A and B are shown apart, each in its own frame.
Chain A
């Protein structure tokens, strides 16, 4: 019999067997090969004064201070169509104690589910309708508030109040159209503070803030397309100046599958730039799981007959070397051994970069059985906490065969039955392929099991809220005030010759309407105006503190003021940081603070000859370039606003000797 490869070798072999390539090297062909498919659910907080279903202020975040705590438990209930939801049942199995930390300022009795909802915030409905119109969605005739069950406790009612505003729309990417399934208006959930063992803690400040969710069809076929679609949806959301920005204000769930795989949802991705890596890895994880399935089905002709064995062990019978296993008795933990027939090489099979199938089991033990990691240990993994001796002994005890994988796991006594079920369930799922689940993302591009993916079975009409009719007249009124759309903006900027590198910033911050006003209304040169907004403004934002009163529109206003006074446009550059920090400062003070004093051109140039002589006495570099730049440096402050820099340069360069070649540069 040939010798079994080491787990590390098996990891590399399996990675190769499925044809894994790092994303940087992956091509469209690779994604075609594995049948990459992805869709998005993009969440965006709306900018309203109050929350969606109560009158608490929206957008105020609390620190770690709290005024009171409330503890609750969630229990699955039937859906409208009379079925229990899969996730709901799993969450119930986990028996979590859920603690809400509440602060008077941001939380009323509605958030803690002690008061029925107040009528929906109409301001939020109107914003959602406008954004739906931009995305070419069919607006519903009547809004029905629906309860979407979430038993993880992230919403104290156990469900999210949500409502469809529009269905069946589309967004335009550079090279293709992506179809939209729907746009809904919903209340935001709590922020999680911690989740340890059977205790999960949330704060309720964000809870109830109005949020829209845009859902696309799985039309994206490469990771970069997913990111682009997300970018476009974000631009569209922001093009109405009524959404929130900043950390957590926009986040997305990304649905991914590969050919033969299953829709898996990566939850709460807060940065678009993480999307390509995450979707790439998830598609290949599924591809790997399908490969595992194939291997297992070769080994077991009758998968339903597969059965794992387990037994309780006495940790004193083993000579453990790891701290975790040595300390079990003192920690009051039970130790179990499990033998998985035919799973050797499966546990160490590649799933994600640096992860193997054994991690899938360990992750579920943490989430479903609430056993903190480390919670298991196997010989068939990239790294094992225990040496070969312990596993040889375990094999003997379990009566395992050569091809069987064995593992230790441990946890509090009351969690053992769920843990055993969880291990067996995950292994059985390996015969089927890719489990339906939601996963949490890490910045390194890998993901971890979060929950079983909920289905439509968790929907229930909200008996506390009446339906809200949307009238044609109201929709028309909202349609009148729509800003120009992203794709039009994008095409216009291209036509103007605006460099691509400033597009994103302008679209992301919804600066296109302002740019358009500067170009078409004030006659500014498009490239100058666009780089002013997209480069200089961006620099200022990154380096100075924004004063509360500052509005982007002030940039255009300032340009007009400069023109009116006959001042040179270049002066706007030093002025930007000033108005950014002091938006209320009057014009003269601004000019003074940037060192401007009115002069005519000849006065500016009056000292030119003197300076040239000066330079020749102090020069250490004989290049013509050096002389020009020194002279420019001397005269720029005086010239600023009084003459264009290009003319100053021309005047300075006149009669300056040196290497003629420089001039061509």
Chain B
């Protein structure tokens, strides 16, 4: 393919560039009705309008020139930027654990994509070493890019692919695994891997960043260090999410893949364990367990991979006065499982009942979770709950809606026998259902209350 001289430009802007023979990366003098401008023509994001040309002026800033004001243009030079993260060979240190970093498309180190204006991940160990040299003091790192998709595009196929890839690494005797992942659906993947990788002998740590690594204040580097430390040195051989504890650069938290959820759209400390305590905290000095009952690291390489997933499973987030056709349409479209996120203790309105009954009769597995996120489904308290159970809706205890969705997909991937599915669903695994809820498993403090304010003032947020 010939070189694209006009990256991202279209319409009027493209015509203008062609008219004056000016290329992207060309140094240009532009005369406009607003005065003269000089600079380097940069690529333009495809999503931006076709009325402007982007120019990097000599002071390093970018400006847009309105093509409607352009009187004349001249290319006076040409210099293409060579964007490369400095790459250095990742040094091998005897005595340090071997950790595999599996890439899925997250942004540990990244560069700019002009076409979309977004950031593109860079990934090789050499690049990572260039960006986060401290990693070499923690472990001997190798990397593998299994695929590159944005977090929101992850799905069943990727879960299976990941689980298989991890299984291979474990059989090859790796000391720990880190998975770089976008944060939006990090907890879905964490739950999926928990179910698909049975009894792993080593830590499997999912990590991402809330601020992309092209920012100086990014949490990516510290998260990656924490994750590598956990994978290489930690004793917890489970699937975990490792992200910031507080928003400050202080410590990371390790959350069980089955109890963790992203709770804020942009905070660094967005991942929280719900209805329980997190597994541990981690710094570059060590992993400090909070919970005592975790699966410890084992010396063997034994692991069972169960890469099953039925894709036709949905979460139905109930809202007041929902019409029954919401359920009907899922059933009619061949869905095999429905997780309802009900109100309060697990309720939906009465007009939905016939539709639920119909779903049950058609062999659709229907489970109830709570949209309050904290607390158990309790369908015996009110008459309506009991009625629903009679219609075949199974209460899923205190499983988080997303976790129940993953588990149902996984269960239905293994068997079509609804009794068998129910057994799988209701057997607690890695605390996806806890037998009891600790009193400090629910802590959503409210600002403004004097003692809370006092606490916040004394401990870094």
Cβ–Cβ contact A162 & B61, under 8 A: yes
* A-side contacts of B221, CB under 8 Å: 75
Interface residues of A in 56-106 (CB under 8 A from B): 66-78, 80-82, 84, 88, 104
Q: Mark B76-92, 1 if CB is under 8 A from A, else 0.
A: 00000111111000000
* B-side contacts of A181, CB under 8 Å: 59
Within 8 Å of chain A (Cβ to Cβ): is B52?
Answer: yes
Contact partner of B217 (CB less than 8 A), chosen from A72, A88, A115, A456, is A72
Inter-chain CA distance A144–B57, complex, in Å, is 12
Which of A5-13, A240-248, A458-466 faces chain B? A458-466
Cβ–Cβ contact B214 & A77, under 8 A: yes
Within 8 Å of chain A (Cβ to Cβ): is B216?
Answer: yes
Cβ–Cβ contact A68 & B456, under 8 A: yes
* B-side contacts of A69, CB under 8 Å: 248, 457, 460-461
Cβ–Cβ contact B65 & A114, under 8 A: no
Contact partner of B249 (CB less than 8 A), chosen from A68, A73, A463, is A73
Contact partner of B216 (CB less than 8 A), chosen from A68, A159, A162, A470, is A159
Contact partner of B63 (CB less than 8 A), chosen from A81, A88, A147, A164, is A164
Within 8 Å of chain B (Cβ to Cβ): is A139?
Answer: yes
B72 to chain A, nearest CB (A): 14
Interface residues of B in 236-293 (CB under 8 A from A): 247-250, 264, 266-268
Number of interface residues of B (CB under 8 A): 60
Given known contacts A68-B461, A142-B64, A459-B60, A469 and B51 CB-to-CB distance under 8 angstroms: yes
Cβ–Cβ contact A168 & B36, under 8 A: yes
* A-side contacts of B57, CB under 8 Å: 164, 167, 182
Cβ–Cβ contact B63 & A142, under 8 A: yes
Which of A150-158, A253-261, A537-545 faces chain B? A150-158
Within 8 Å of chain A (Cβ to Cβ): is B398?
Answer: no
* A-side contacts of B85, CB under 8 Å: 78, 82
Within 8 Å of chain B (Cβ to Cβ): is A149?
Answer: yes
Given known contacts A142-B66, A151-B216, A463 and B112 CB-to-CB distance under 8 angstroms: yes
Given known contacts A114-B266, A164-B63, A75 and B216 CB-to-CB distance under 8 angstroms: yes
Cβ–Cβ contact B214 & A71, under 8 A: no
Inter-chain CA distance A82–B84, complex, in Å, is 6
Inter-chain CA distance A159–B63, complex, in Å, is 18
Cβ–Cβ contact B61 & A144, under 8 A: yes
Cβ–Cβ contact B217 & A144, under 8 A: no
Inter-chain CA distance A75–B223, complex, in Å, is 13
Within 8 Å of chain A (Cβ to Cβ): is B211?
Answer: yes
Q: Is the interface of B mostly helix, strand, loop or mixed?
A: loop
Inter-chain CA distance A104–B453, complex, in Å, is 10
* A-side contacts of B56, CB under 8 Å: 80, 459
Q: Which residue on chain B has the smallest CB distance to residue A84?
A: B86
Contact partner of A77 (CB less than 8 A), chosen from B37, B218, B247, is B218
Within 8 Å of chain B (Cβ to Cβ): is A457?
Answer: yes
* A-side contacts of B62, CB under 8 Å: 144, 146, 164, 459, 461
* A-side contacts of B211, CB under 8 Å: 113, 157
* A-side contacts of B210, CB under 8 Å: 114
Q: Mark B434-461, 1 if CB is under 8 A from A, else 0.
A: 0000000000000100000100110011
Cβ–Cβ contact A456 & B60, under 8 A: yes
Query: 25 pairs across A/B with beta carbons < 8 Å?
Result: A67-B453, A67-B456, A68-B461, A69-B461, A70-B247, A73-B249, A75-B221, A114-B210, A137-B35, A138-B32, A140-B37, A142-B54, A142-B63, A143-B63, A167-B35, A168-B36, A182-B59, A182-B61, A459-B56, A460-B214, A463-B112, A463-B119, A463-B212, A469-B64, A469-B66
Interface residues of B (CB under 8 A from A): 32, 34-37, 48-49, 51-52, 54, 56-67, 69, 81-86, 111-112, 117-119, 131, 210-218, 221-222, 247-250, 264, 266-268, 447, 453, 456-457, 460-461
Besides A78-B214, A138-B36, A472-B69, 17 other A-B contacts (C-beta < 8 A): A71-B248, A73-B222, A75-B218, A77-B214, A77-B218, A78-B111, A81-B83, A82-B85, A112-B461, A116-B266, A141-B34, A141-B63, A142-B64, A146-B60, A168-B35, A182-B61, A469-B66
